[in-house]
Amino acid sequence: MRNGKTVFVDCNDTLIAVRHASRSDVVPDGFKSIERGGQWYHVQARPSADAFLKAVAAEACNIVVLTGGSSRIQHLLLALTDLDEELDQVIGFESSGRVELPASWVLVDDLQGGCSSFEEKLAMLGFKRKDIGEARYKALVEKHCIQCRSFKGGDDSAPLTGLLEEVRTKLAA
């Protein structure tokens, strides 16, 4: 790892759009198709994802994909969309509870507001709402988390690069 600053970023609907598919489904424009273990996926990188990851890496931050899915599958999907070059690590549900927090960190995710998947990611980082209490949990989210618009494919009307200043501000706090 480069230093004490880490940007944790969600994979599905943040960096890439993932659609479960059948073998006979037509691959939508801009998507790539992949099959693993009998399951078909159509994936598309968010147009701003590569520039976002490169900008974060250029500022000497560690980049860790934090996903509720399998790290092995997510790594394959990120490689298929050419988004794996700047990544330091992909951490999935199977690594829950074994994540070391750096001195300065942020989590960029499309989910928040009481969503169980978002809470699972914070739990992977060692923060459970029931253990730390509501006030501390809300303060933690305010200090360390950035919500982006969900990306389902196609147009990237809210690019991740638009969040770079907020990432810098939260990492500096």
User: Which residue range forms the structural domain that includes residue 130?
Assistant: 5-16+45-172
pLDDT in tens, 1-52: 556 899 999 999 999 998 889 988 999 999 999 888 888 989 999 999 999 9
pLDDT in tens, 63-75: 999 988 888 888 8
Inside any domain, residue 168: yes
pLDDT in tens, 113-151: 666 788 888 888 888 889 999 999 999 999 999 999 999
Q: Distance between CA atoms of 99 and 91, rounded to whole angstroms? A: 8
Secondary structure (3-state) at 152: coil
**Cβ atoms 131, 123 nearer than 8 A:** no
Number of domains present in the structure of the chain? 1
Residue with tokens 């989210």: 141
Secondary structure (3-state) at 162: helix
Q: Could you report how far apart the first and last alpha carbons of the chain are, in Å? A: 20
Inside any domain, residue 123: yes
Distances (CA, A) of 32 to 11, 13, 29: 16, 15, 8
Secondary structure (3-state) at 161: helix
Instruction: Tell me the mean pLDDT in the region 161-166.
Output: 98
Instruction: Tell me the mean pLDDT in the region 66-86.
Output: 87
Inside any domain, residue 50: yes
Predicted local distance difference test score (pLDDT) of residue 68: 82
Q: What CATH number is attached to the domain comprising 81? A: 3.40.50.1000
Inside any domain, residue 125: yes
Q: Which residues pair with 107 in a beta bridge?
A: 8, 145
